[in-house]
Structure 1
Amino acid sequence: MKRALVTGGSGGIGAAICKRLAADGHHVIVHANRSLGKADAVVAEIVAAGGSGEAVSFDVTDRAATAAALTALLEAGPIQILINNAGIHSDAVFPGMSGEQWDSVVDVSLNGFFNVTQPLTMPMLRTRWGRIVNISSIAGITGNRGQVNYSAAKAALHAAGKSLALELASRNITVNAVAPGIIATDMIEGTFDADAIKKLVPMQRAGQPEEVADLVAFLASDRAAYISGQVISINGAMI
């Protein structure tokens, strides 16, 4: 049984990924920052369905706290599947964007990627098998008005993943990014109504978190052993 860590695992897409990885037979570590109760609830669903999981809480932007939490987790063995899903929005048009809005978004998506991934890389290398999937956004490919910070962080994540894929390829470790479009989660409520979605998405509907989870689970499997360094968007033909 491989051990998988999903950061931001208590949210809509994260929870779906956790449940799917558990259904595939992995022990899933469901991460949350402040919503440990939600992570516990996801674990309870996993266990009720016959799977294996545990909840953990730490701030991915706090390098020392993250390192301490990961050291404790590694005592039980290497983590061979890592899903970097933690991310936040703080939208504003660029002329009115504050430095705090810029820093907070970049800190979670990009610095959080480093803080979580770097300590897990050497233990993963020793096993000569690993899967790293970074959850990005269509905004990191096309850009988006009001999201210069978010788009910049996600685009940087694409480049970081491509470079890391080159470094780890000889050890049977793949690194890919999944870039969702409009997905039906709490995050889009109040942002996109049904009419807006029909105009923006050729398939005329929002994607489901489970559809994203299916793609992530494939990339985390042996079947995707020759796919690495890629950015794969799941967006209903938006681009």
Structure 2
Amino acid sequence: MDKSPHALVTGASSGIGAAIVERLLRDGWRVTGISRRPAPFNHPAFDHLSLDLGEVDNIANAVAGIAPTALVHAAGMLVGELGSLDHDDGTAMWRLHVDVAERLANALAPRLPKGGRIILIGSRTASGAAGRGQYAATKAALVALARSWAIELAPRGVTVNVVAPAATETPMLKDPTRANVAPKLPPIGRFIRPEEVAHAVAFLLSPEAAAITGQQLVICGGSSL
């Protein structure tokens, strides 16, 4: 029987999610990646679960047979600035960021072992950012969820944290529909790299991070200085 740790990672087909999958496979994890599109991994320790997370009523059944060591919710989207908000898109974004996190955690937390981990990918904009109000609100909600769940799960040795990067070099960053809210470069002179987010996630998943829970780790490139 394979004793390798097992992570369930959403948004596995591209961007931060794909970088996290790549890092964990390199570290000897088994990974089940959730995405609508096929994930770009041909690895014996990787399984792909094709699932549209927007169809939230299907989530519990889709993961019913999975008992992972860790849940990493990296799937995301970005819409809207004030004055041109699309409320349907805003609802879809809340559903993907927050409702999906709730449903996955609700289904999987009871099956997480001692030393289990939940990591939610947030954003440094969670405290507010011009042109990103709806997005920031969803990411702020993830921090509240993580802190609350951390209190509940700490007696079981399970940690819950948020990794919150500034603008990251992903397909979402290059989306032409975001031209009106294009982010400024951080003081380090470049955007955050997906693999840098993955490295932070890998640390929080490690035994060395067992005492870190209910926290938001911001990777800002100096933006908060």
Fold match by TM threshold 0.5: yes
Q: What is the distance in 1 between the residues matched to 2:202 and 2:71?
A: 11
1:137 maps to a residue whose letter is S
Query: What is residue 131 of structure 1 aligned with on the other side?
Result: 117
1:39-78 maps to which residues of 2 (within 5 A)?
Answer: 39=39, 41-42=40-41, 44=42, 47=43, 52-72=45-65, 74=66, 78=67
For residues 200-227 of structure 1, the C-alpha deviation after alignment (integer angstroms, 9 at most, x for no partner) is: 4111111211111000000011010010
Q: What is the distance in 2 between the residues matched to 1:71 and 1:153?
A: 26
Query: What is residue 7 of structure 1 aligned with on the other side?
Result: 10
- Structure 1 runs of 4+ with >6 Å offset: none
Deviation at 1:101, TM superposition (A): 2.2
- State TM-score, norm by structure 2: 0.91
Matched, 1:117 2:105: yes
Q: What is the distance in 2 between the residues matched to 1:151 and 1:167?
A: 25
For residues 44-93 of structure 1, the C-alpha deviation after alignment (integer angstroms, 9 at most, x for no partner) is: 1xx1xxx6111011122333311111013x2xxx2111101111112232
User: What is the root-mean-square deviation in Å for CA atoms of aligned residues?
Assistant: 1.6
Query: What is residue 208 of structure 1 aligned with on the other side?
Result: 193
Uncovered stretches (5+) of structure 2, i.e. residues with no partner: none
Preserved contact between residue 128 and residue 172 of structure 1 (Cα < 8 Å): yes
Deviation at 1:138, TM superposition (A): 1.2
Deviation at 1:183, TM superposition (A): 1.3
Query: What is residue 83 of structure 1 aligned with on the other side?
Result: 72
1:170 to 145, 149, 155: 155
Deviation at 1:30, TM superposition (A): 1.1
Preserved contact between residue 115 and residue 207 of structure 2 (Cα < 8 Å): no
Count, aligned residues: 217
- State TM-score, norm by structure 1: 0.86
Identity of aligned residues (%): 35
1:155 maps to a residue whose letter is A
Preserved contact between residue 162 and residue 229 of structure 1 (Cα < 8 Å): yes
Matched, 1:104 2:89: no
Q: Provide the secondary structure at the position in 2 that maps to 1:96.
A: coil
**C-alpha distance 98-186 of structure 1, shift in aligned 2 (>3 A):** closer
Matched, 1:28 2:31: yes
For residues 119-163 of structure 1, the C-alpha deviation after alignment (integer angstroms, 9 at most, x for no partner) is: 001111xx222011100011113x122221111000011001000
Q: Provide the secondary structure at the position in 1 that maps to 2:146.
A: helix
For residues 148-205 of structure 1, the C-alpha deviation after alignment (integer angstroms, 9 at most, x for no partner) is: 111100001100100000000011100000001021112112558xxx87x6411111
2:13 maps to a residue whose letter is S
1:188-199 maps to which residues of 2 (within 5 A)?
Answer: 188-189=173-174, 190=176
Q: What is the distance in 2 between the residues matched to 1:220 and 1:9?
A: 17
Q: What is the distance in 2 between the residues matched to 1:227 and 1:103?
A: 32
Q: What is the distance in 1 between the residues matched to 2:135 and 2:218?
A: 16
Name the structure with the higher helix share: 1
